[in-house]
Amino acid sequence: MTLSVIIPACDRVGELRECLRRVMEQREAGRCEIIVSDDSRTDGPRGVVAEFPGVQWVQGPLRGPAANRNCGARHARGDWLVFLDDDCLPDSGWLAAYEQAATADADVLEGKTVCPIEDAFAFYEIVENVAGGAFWSCNLAVRREKFEELGGFDEDFTRACAEDMEFAWRMRKRGLRSAFVEQALVTHPPRAMGVLDLLKRTAAHRWVLLYRLKTGMGPGLGCPSPRAVAALVLREAVDKLRMIYHLWRDGDRRRIKGRTTDVLWRCASLPGYLPYYAYWELKFRRMEAGKVKLRKA
């Protein structure tokens, strides 16, 4: 049984160097290969990879993180594909934990992901998976044969948003067995966001619309456009109410200020973004309908 660690990279030189250093400290020759699939516009990450003998560098497709992970997977030879983001910091026992868990009766393994931030206001990009069930692609292992059966990550998602949610949906639909490996610990540093970053993140919500469309969470493709837009508005309003409910119910004191600020921003910005979301809802519907026609032709 061999592992292939796949690291999709994109212009984060310092973070990639530290990530690779930590992975290389755990690597046992012959039992693990490390592949960096590079979507960068500069030669920086390729130069970093050259500092670590034995790490394979491949040119990414420049079509977003989903396609970049698939590119790394196509070059992998291991029985298990272990996905790790280039800005994540694996714990010293991370790889050994995956290696041990890979012998169990499971098809997908998700590691524990933590974010070291306390009592902070928004706006930060915070990624955590402390109890399982999230299946974030920054710390995830999949049997190679099952990954190929699923067709990998959906490359329609050309930005880092919802592509791992869609993969997890297909995984559950196919009935793949999963396990949470708490010892496969990764630290995902928080990313501070300025105003422009915040606006981009809010705009990236359009990929959640595509996720809903692909997973049947909204009206079907045959739904008339006015009805589809009306359903979108209702769904977004209900989502914001749900966010407020969970904020009140969970009472996460460690993050209460940041979560509150985030919820207030999402509610306040929704009216301004609704026309933008409606545009993408209709565009994604046309895209998916076109695929259906091609399959039938």
Task: Look at residue 168 and tell me whether its pLDDT is greater than 90.
Answer: yes
Collapsed DSSP state (helix, strand, coil) of residue 178: strand
> How many percent of the chain have pLDDT more than 90?
80
Q: Determine the pLDDT at residue 31.
A: 78
Q: How many CB atoms lie within 10 A of CB 226?
A: 8
Cβ contact 232:281 at 8 Å: yes
**pLDDT for residue 106:** 95
Question: Could you give phi then psi for residue 66, rounded to 5 degrees?
Answer: -65, -50
pLDDT classification of 5: cutoffs 50, 70, 90: very high
* Residues whose CB falls within 8 Å of the CB of residue 266, separated by 6 or more in sequence, listed in order: 202, 240, 243
pTM of the model: 0.94
Q: Report CA-CA distances (Å) from 266 to 62, 237, 258, 280.
A: 30, 10, 12, 18
pLDDT at residue 281 is higher than 90 = yes
pLDDT digits (tens, 9 = 90+) for 22-76: 999 998 766 799 999 999 999 999 999 999 999 999 999 999 999 999 999 999 9
* Residue 142 banded pLDDT, cuts 50, 70, 90: very high
Structure confidence by residue, pLDDT tens digits, 63-92: 999 999 999 999 999 999 999 999 999 999
pLDDT number for residue 27? 85
- Compute the distance between CA of residue 292 and CA of residue 286 in angstroms, rounded to an integer: 10
What does the block give as tokens for 130? 């402390």
Could you report the per-residue pLDDT of 242-262, keeping only the tens digit for each? Answer: 988 887 777 666 677 777 888
pLDDT the model gives residue 57:
98
Q: What's the mean pLDDT when you consider all of the chain?
A: 93
Lowest mean pLDDT among 12-16, 76-80, 125-129, 254-258: 254-258
At 293 the pLDDT is 86
Given the DSSP bridges, would you call strands 139-143 and 108-114 parallel, antiparallel or unpaired? antiparallel
Structure tokens that stand for 74 in this block: 């196509």
At 39 the three-state DSSP class reads coil
Q: Token pair 């009140």 is at which residue?
A: 248
How large is the average pLDDT for residues 159-176? 96
Asked if pLDDT for residue 122 goes beyond 80, the answer is no
Q: Which domains are delineated in the chain?
A: 3-192 (3.90.550.10), 195-296 (no CATH)
Q: Is a pLDDT exceeding 70 seen at residue 94?
A: yes
Pick the closest to residue 56 from 151, 142, 74, 14 (CA basis): 74
Over range 218-240, report the average pLDDT. 94
